[in-house]
Amino acid sequence: MPDETRDVVTLWRPVGPVELELIRNSGMRAFPPRLPDQPIFYPVLSKEYAVKIARDWNVPASGSGYVTRFDVRRDFLENYRVQKAGGSAHLEYWIPAEEMTAFNEAIVGEIEVVAEFP
């Protein structure tokens, strides 16, 4: 196993169809920059939480929702605290929009789609 993949954290991100298309355009290697009204990027710590957002928010908002899974270098994430967004199962990182390039560079391997909701 290459050294770069030894110390990673698996995260999930619920996305809609537009964001998924932008991820595909990156070769499944990066998330798109945030929009002006989106000051943070919030990858989540559990698949269950990502599924809930994709199903309950992305589907009504855009007609479909997807759950992505990806690995991020642990040393990068040590610069951020885990945030609780509501209940104890709603854990996420808050990455400032201006740090998205660095976040994408810390992704190890490809971003995978692991669930889809019509």
pLDDT tens, position by position, 61-107: 999 999 999 999 999 999 999 999 888 889 999 999 999 999 999 99
Range of 14's domain?
3-117
Q: What is the CATH number of the domain that holds 32?
A: 3.20.170
> Which helix (DSSP H) or strand (DSSP E) does residue 24 occupy?
helix 17-25
10 vs 89 pLDDT, higher one: 10
Q: Is the pTM of this model over 0.95?
A: no
What pLDDT band is residue 2 in, cutting at 50, 70 and 90?
A: very low
pLDDT tens, position by position, 20-52: 999 999 999 999 999 999 999 999 999 999 999
> What is the model's pLDDT at position 1?
40
Structure letter (DSSP) for residue 97: G
Structure letter (DSSP) for residue 90: -
Taking CA atoms, 2 is separated from 30, 73, 107, in Å, by 20, 13, 14
> Which helix (DSSP H) or strand (DSSP E) does residue 60 occupy?
helix 59-62
Query: Count of domains in the chain?
Result: 1
